[in-house]
Chains A and B, each alone.
Chain A
Amino acid sequence: DIQMTQSPSSLSASVGDRVTITCRASQSISSSLNWYQQKPGKAPNLLIHSASTLDFGAPSRFSGSGSGTDFTLTISSLQPEDFATYFCQQSYSTPPAFGGGTKVEIK
């Protein structure tokens, strides 16, 4: 099974900061990597799929990159509504594993 490792597990940042979250797969998954945002008490929401494709309605300040085993989610200018937990997930093969999550908190 493919394991997904996210870092950091949490970070503190200010509004307007550029934020980067990384995700590593235990083997190559091509570009089959998705990112989700989850706010407290809510279900996750698909932000980016196929490593770099912004999903419907996702703000353009979010971007994704990478292929193979190493991937990055970048928020170019953090907004108040972006404080949340972010999860990566591989869609290359079953079981479709998630990373452990990165909680983005207000500094």
Chain B
Amino acid sequence: QVQLVESGGGVVQPGRSLRLSCAVSGLTFSHYAMHWVRQPPGKGLEWVALISFDGSNEHYADSVKGRFTISRDNSKNTLYLQINSLRREDTAVYYCVTDRLFPGDLFSLYFDLWGQGTLVTVSS
């Protein structure tokens, strides 16, 4: 079955960096655009970033632009999120999510299959 498994979360000091990974199995990873979505504890959902199926297009939320970088390695079926200059407001569960695939679309912006999430806590 399809699995998305995030890793790399933890407790990090403000200003430091972190790289999250998401290992995907059970589907043809290279066909899917991918997202990172985050959720601060007890709060709502915030879309963070999107990367096209081949890595040629990236989009970011204004709140993370310039600090976060989404990337992928289709040979390893893995999605990444490089997070720099961490702030306390970046504390959240970070989910890796597939974009719903529609023929002819670069991405649909439908959040289809979700991982279990990895918690990033920014604290001194």
- A residues with CB within 8 A of B: 1, 32, 34, 36, 38, 43-46, 49, 87, 89-101
Q: B45's contact among A44, A92, A93, by CB below 8 Å, is which?
A: A44
- Min CB distance B38 to A, Å, is 11
For the side of the interface on B, what is the size category?
Answer: 10 to 19
- Min CB distance B79 to A, Å, is 15
Determine whether the beta carbon of A44 is less than 8 Å from that of B111. Answer: yes
Determine whether the beta carbon of A95 is less than 8 Å from that of B61. Answer: yes
Determine whether the beta carbon of A98 is less than 8 Å from that of B46. Answer: yes
- Looking at chain A's contact residues, the main secondary structure is loop
Q: Which of A34, A89, A95 has the largest number of chain B CB atoms within 10 A? A: A95
Q: A91's contact among B45, B59, B109, by CB below 8 Å, is which?
A: B109
Distance in angstroms between the alpha carbons of A36 and B36 in the assembled complex: 16
- Min CB distance B104 to A, Å, is 16
Tell me whether A43 and B115 are in contact in the complex, defined as CB-CB below 8 angstroms, given that A49-B110, A95-B62 are known contacts. yes
Distance in angstroms between the alpha carbons of A90 and B95 in the assembled complex: 18
Q: Which of A36, A91, A100 has the largest number of chain B CB atoms within 10 A? A: A91
Tell me whether A91 and B95 are in contact in the complex, defined as CB-CB below 8 angstroms, given that A43-B116, A98-B45 are known contacts. no
Tell me whether A44 and B114 are in contact in the complex, defined as CB-CB below 8 angstroms, given that A49-B100, A97-B47, A98-B46 are known contacts. yes
- Min CB distance B26 to A, Å, is 16
